[in-house]
Amino acid sequence: MTFDYDLFVIGAGSGGLAASKRAASYGAKVAIAEYDLVGGTCVIRGCVPKKLMVYGSHFPALLDDAKGYGWKTSNLELNWEHFITSIDKEVRRLSQLHISFLEKAGVELIPNRATLIDPHTIEVDGHKVTADKILIAVGGRPVKPDLPGMEYGITSNEMFHLQKQPKHIAIIGAGYIGIEFACIMRGLGSEVTQITRGEKILKGFDEDIRTEIETGMTNNGIRLINNNVVKTVERVPEGVKITLSESEQKPVIADVFLVATGRTPNIDGLGLENAGVDVVASSMEGPGYKATNAIAVNQYSQTSQPNIFAIGDVTDRLNLTPVAIGEGRAFADSEFGNNHREFSHQNVPTAVFSTPEAATVGLTEAEAREKFGDAVKIYHSRFRPMYYSLTGKQEKTMMKLLVDANTDKVLGAHMVGDNAAEIIQGVAIAVKMGATKKDFDATVGIHPTAAEEFVTMR
């Protein structure tokens, strides 16, 4: 059978872009459909604009620190309109850049929504096209719980387009998205109240990371309300009034209410049932949430239909941009590059761009204990970095290594503190290669740095 395309990709986010360009480099005829800006969540409403906001939020603290070094600083004032507009311009520049990369790679971009008609047929822009292989890379989207008044809340999508800076923002959600925005807005000068339904933030991270970030957030003036669920939200003259589950807890009144309690695979309207693509229950949980589904795939990102594949957040495996990119390239190598391989989801480093920042790779202490029991040896350090010696601040950095005493292999590395993500990226290479504690000890540290602590811990 003759097809219009060797590969048709649905979704021009990080994974879809990587897969389409890699497949085209092997000589495949490729088209990619995207109804929104090219770039996906990461470029348009995720990693990139959020990290720019993180950078912007650090300047007040940096100028305050400068006083300890003898600098005279004047009063700060944030031009919110300039800040948001500049970020939006950069996002759109990057989107156009990705379009040019597709053109150079020979990938046809179809700026419309695509729907599956059958295992080899896609309807896009009112026309039907066929493809030998189809890749679904449509990502995920934020969702709100079905609770009274949630229509008054915004999601992370809208955070980058607020017309004016909130004086007081209330945030529900204990995951990295809610935590990062809480720290961003506090750094920019807004009053912040963070509401979580558990005892601690960042479920699934190492306990020391959770504790250190929570302590840092509190020290930076963020009000944390734990063990509470939002009962109702209502509009009031001051903004929104949030009533909580614990009766003794007073309602929170804020001018902006951010709902950051979860994301779900973006499978609606894809026509999966038309192509016989199976789904599996997603990991969404919590009060007010209904069961959601992700696309079921094997280790090669192959769905129940042999010629249809799915990568990234729509599969709800490990929802990180570099993972989607890695899965996309592994798919293209396997199906078009004569290099059948799977992408490893083991020892993937990740970071939380909070204040203080955190990064991690490998097993948490709880995971290591469950797998290796008493053989786990812990190396832990907590100190004030040299940078703060003249500022008067008592900011702390935490570093932690988990080691299998039987093999001396490093099982996990965790850090909270300045530049944690930059430092852990290098450490992740060693962990991925199976380095031992003896290897770390034999490495000469760069002095004076905070990073040298990873090779001097005893």
CA distance 241 to 234: 5
Classify each residue of 308-327 as buried b or exposed e, where b means 16 or more C-beta atoms within 10 Å of its C-beta: bbbbbbbbbbbbbbbbbbbb
Q: CB of 354 within 8 A of CB of 426? A: no
State the helix-helix crossing angle for 365-372 and 207-219, rounded to 10 degrees.
170
Q: Which residues contact 226 (CB under 8 A, 6 or more apart)?
A: 196, 198, 199, 200
Q: In what order do the strands lie in the sheet with 256-259?
A: 223-225, 191-195, 168-172, 256-259
Cα–Cα distance measured from residue 396 to residue 417, given in angstroms and rounded to the nearest whole number:
7
- Whole-number Å distance between alpha carbons of 60 and 280: 46
The answer to whether 260 and 184 have CB atoms below 8 angstroms apart is no
The amino acid present at 332, given as its one-letter code, is: A
Active site residue 82: no
E strand or H helix at 332: helix 321-336
**Would you state the structure tokens that stand for residue 311, as one six-digit string?**
């990568």
State the greatest distance between any 2 C-alpha atoms of the chain, in Å, as a whole number: 75
Alpha carbons 182 and 54: distance in angstroms, whole number: 10
**Cα–Cα dist 16/8, whole Å:** 10
Q: Of residues 98, 120, 345, 447, which has the active-site annotation?
A: 447
**Cα angle 320-325-330, degrees, rounded to a multiple of 5:** 125
Q: Which residue from 69, 78, 277 is spatially nearest to 185, judged by alpha carbons?
A: 78
Inter-residue contact 278 to 271 (CB < 8 Å): no
Backbone phi, psi, residue 338, to 5°: 55, 35
Helix (H) or strand (E) holding 347: none
The Cβ of residue 413 has, within 10 Å, a number of other Cβ atoms equal to 27
Is the bond leading into 356 cis (omega within 30 degrees of zero)? yes
| Token representation of residue 161 | 């387009």
* Cross-strand pairs, 413: 361, 401
| 363's tokens | 């097993």
Which of the residues are catalytic? 447
